[in-house]
Every structure is written in C-alpha cells, then in structure tokens.
Amino acid sequence: MLYKSCYISPIGAIYLVCDQTGLMGLWLENQKYFAKKIIDESVIAKNHPTIKKVKKWLDAYFAKSNPQIDNLVLRPQGTTFQKEVWKLLMEIPYGEVTTYGEIAKMLAKKMGIDKMSAQAVGAAVGHNPISIIIPCHRVIGAKGNLIGYAGGIEKKRWLLEHEKN
C-alpha cells in the first residue's frame, strides 16, 4: 500500500508518497513527470512515520538548517542508471552546485568507461522522483546557467538562493 500527504512550503505544495519501507516520491506541484497516478492511488496518511520524518526534514530545510538525510529511508524507483545518477546527486554539498558534465565524468569514472553523455545524465536528473532531498536543483549548465529543472526554473532559482549562506 502507498501513503500520501501534502506539505505546504514557501515554494508551494509538495506531494509526498511512501510505502511501508520509505519515501518513494516528493514532487512539487505541477512538476514535470509528476506522478499523478501514484498520488491518486495512494491513501492519505498524515501520521505515517515516514511522512512525519520527511515533513520534519522539510521544516528544517526551509528553516535553512541543512538537515541530514541519514534518518530518512529513500526508495526512488527508476532504472539502475538513474539510481546511480541520483546517488551522485546526494553527494553535492548543501549550498553548492555542479554541472551535468561533471556528473557525467564522475559516473564514467565509476563505471570504468572513457566518457558519459551529459544529456543522458540530464535525463536521469530530470526524472528524479524525490526532489529537494535528492538535490537535483544543485545541477546547472556548463556555463553556469540554470537549466533543466522539472519543478520550474523559478523554483530552482529560489532553492539555490535559499541555500546560500
């Protein structure tokens, strides 16, 4: 069974979905690749332990406290490649950014190959089902431009500004 809840944040409604084990999705309202079917089929559960932990994490994040994710169980659903990219996203420090190309280089090295497509990495980043916690907003274009955020560029800009010291 899947459980859902809504969290009202400074950037709008955020929809949370978990199963008995952990968080499966965190989507901004109107986000590209929004999992409406999963949300529609989930049961409202404001007091589910995972939902409560995630809301506490979001409270801390929006209070600018750089919360850690070690007490959260994240269960993003995707391909092996996507999951590898999402693991690398979690290594981007709070308040810092990296590029799609840099992630592609790290992934290529990890896989023991010469190079990896930044576009393939971009597609995986764009399908991240646990926005903010898996910080896809910290990935920018090669020239420092804000591109490719499924939640919208304005929200990406807001999140990056929010994380500045």
- Looking up residue 94, the CATH number of its domain turns out to be 1.10.10.10
Segments in the chain below pLDDT 50:
none
Question: What pLDDT, on a 0 to 100 scale, did the predictor assign at position 37?
Answer: 75
Question: What pLDDT, on a 0 to 100 scale, did the predictor assign at position 40?
Answer: 76
Q: Are 92 and 154 in the same domain? A: yes
Question: What pLDDT, on a 0 to 100 scale, did the predictor assign at position 31?
Answer: 84
Domain C-terminal end among 20, 36, 62: 62
Residue 134 lies in a domain: yes
Cβ proximity of 147 and 140 under 8 Å: yes
Q: At 14, which amino acid appears?
A: I
Alpha carbons 129 and 134: distance in angstroms, whole number: 8
Residue 68 lies in a domain: no
Alpha carbons 147 and 145: distance in angstroms, whole number: 6
Q: Are 57 and 123 in the same domain? A: no
Question: What pLDDT, on a 0 to 100 scale, did the predictor assign at position 33?
Answer: 74
Split into its structural domains, the chain has a count of 2
Q: Are 111 and 154 in the same domain? A: yes
Question: What pLDDT, on a 0 to 100 scale, did the predictor assign at position 96?
Answer: 96
Catalytic: 18?
no
Backbone angles phi, psi at 82, to 5 degrees: -60, -45
Per the structure block, which two tokens stand in for 107? 């992934």
Give the domain range for residue 117: 80-163
Q: How many CB atoms lie within 10 A of CB 117?
A: 13
Q: Are 87 and 159 in the same domain? A: yes
Residue 70 lies in a domain: no
Question: What pLDDT, on a 0 to 100 scale, did the predictor assign at position 150?
Answer: 85
The one catalytic residue in 18, 124, 134, 136 is: 136
Question: What pLDDT, on a 0 to 100 scale, did the predictor assign at position 148?
Answer: 80
Residue 46 lies in a domain: yes
Burial class (CB in 10 A: 0-12, 13-18, 19+), 4: buried
Q: What one-character DSSP code corresponds to residue 21?
A: S
**Sign of the torsion formed by the C-alpha atoms of 163, 57, 98 and 100:** negative
Q: Are 93 and 143 in the same domain? A: yes
Residue 12 lies in a domain: yes
Alpha carbons 17 and 102: distance in angstroms, whole number: 30
Domain C-terminal end among 11, 33, 62: 62
